[in-house]
Amino acid sequence: MKKIYLIGMMGAGKTETGRALAREAGLDFVDLDEEIVKRTHMTINEIFECRGEPFFRKAERDALEEASRSKNGVIATGGGAVLDPENVLLMRSSGKVVYLRTSLATLWQRTRTKTDRPLLRASNPEEVLAKLFAQRKGVYESVHDFAVNTDGKTPGAVAEDIVKLLGLGSHERA
């Protein structure tokens, strides 16, 4: 296995699960949103406000391409990364894609007080989240190699589930 890509909706726990999984499996960790912030010197909110979503998606694609060339590791993608078929091909050809399957109710609980979710900066963020969930769920379900439920679990517990699912031993390089 070359890389492990974590996909799922905002609030699924990709970043924290990715950190825990990388520690458990002895792998490097890359969060694409963090990489985009470093490269652009802007927050995700600033990017969406000043440059727009298309600019963000291009920056996301560039960060994913670079991360895909690394030797091994865990890569937390943005929630919309799978909307670009080229991103999906890149992930599937260079590693395993793990979907962090999370219910809409749990996603809302986890995101409702967050201010760093530009797509939820709306008059009715719960409705926006529900629409995004409905639009993206089928894509997540169709592109993953493995899926892990995150409802009621800590990121560490989800990481342990992924280690077992992928047959990774503690500090075993993928």
Structural domain includes residue 62: yes
Structural domain includes residue 166: no
- Quick: pLDDT tens for 18-63: 999 999 999 999 999 999 999 999 998 899 889 998 999 999 999 9
For residue 146, give the DSSP letter.
E
DSSP string of 65-80, one letter each residue: HHHHTSSSEEEEPPTT
Rounded CA-CA distance 102/109 in Å is: 11
Structural domain includes residue 39: yes
- Structural domain including 59 reads 3-159
Looking at residue 36, which CATH number applies to its domain? 3.40.50.300
DSSP string of 130-156, one letter each residue: HHHHHHHHHHHHHH-SEEEE-TT--HH
Helix (H) or strand (E) holding 31: strand 29-31
The pLDDT confidence band at residue 108, using thresholds 50, 70 and 90, is confident
The pLDDT confidence band at residue 121, using thresholds 50, 70 and 90, is low
pTM for the model stands at 0.89
Structural domain includes residue 80: yes
Number of domains into which the chain is organized: 1
Structural domain includes residue 113: yes
- Quick: pLDDT tens for 138-150: 999 999 999 999 9
Structural domain includes residue 9: yes
Structural domain includes residue 153: yes
Structural domain includes residue 96: yes
